[in-house]
Each structure stands twice: as structure tokens, then as C-alpha cells.
Amino acid sequence: MNRKEFEEQLIKNYQQDEHMMILVFAQWCINCDLDPEAVYREAYPQQEANAALQQALALTVSKEEAGDIPDETLLGVLSLFGNDELAYIVTEHIQKRKRNKRAT
């Protein structure tokens, strides 16, 4: 494998991992009864619709069918990709959920 092929493979791997991060985010939102697109818009209000998020939404399942995605797992994945704005919004939703749980 020459240098160009190696670089292309690295880019492809990164893009696949990024799509997995988006899928984890979308499924976590569904599991938490949140709209993934609305949560994404909170973090990035200036962006148009995200095509990768649309693709991920097509792969999500109902929360009854999905496995649990711990909050820490999602935050770790977002952190790996430097997705700080989205991690901040997700953290706000986690805190809101915990407050609501304590109130009931």
C-alpha cells in the first residue's frame, strides 16, 4: 500500500467512525425520547439539515428494540470527535432528565 492509498484508507476509516458516532447520538436521543434533529439544531443552529444525521436516522430502531446507550458512552464518543458543542447540549439534556427524575 503506497502513501496515497494509506491516506485514503485513513480518511475512509475516519468517515465510517464518524457515521457510527452520529448513529450512536441519534439512537441515544430516541432512547431518551428526544428528537435527534432538534437536539442537533440546538448545538448547531446555523447549519442546514445534516445529511449524515438523516442517514443515521434511517438506521435507528425504536427504544424498545434498542440496547441501552449510557450517557457517558455518548459523551465519550462525541469527545473523541471534538464535537464539544453537541456534547454540551447533550449534557444539558442529561441534567434536565435527572432533575425531572428527582422531581417525580
Q: Which residue has the cell 464535537?
A: 83
Instruction: Give 56-100 pLDDT, tens digit per residue.
Output: 999 999 999 999 999 999 999 999 999 999 999 999 999 999 999
**Cα 6 off chain centre by:** 27
Q: Do 8 and 14 form a contact (C-beta atoms < 8 A)?
A: no
Q: Per-residue pLDDT averaged across 16-38, rounded? A: 95
Q: Give the CA dihedral 15, 21, 27, 33, nearest 10 degrees.
A: -130
Structurally, the chain folds into a number of domains equal to 1
> Residue 21 belongs to what domain range?
3-103
Is the confidence at residue 51, as pLDDT, over 90?
A: yes
Mapped onto helix, strand or coil, the DSSP state of residue 16 is: helix
**Helices and strands per DSSP (H, E), number in the chain:** 5, 0
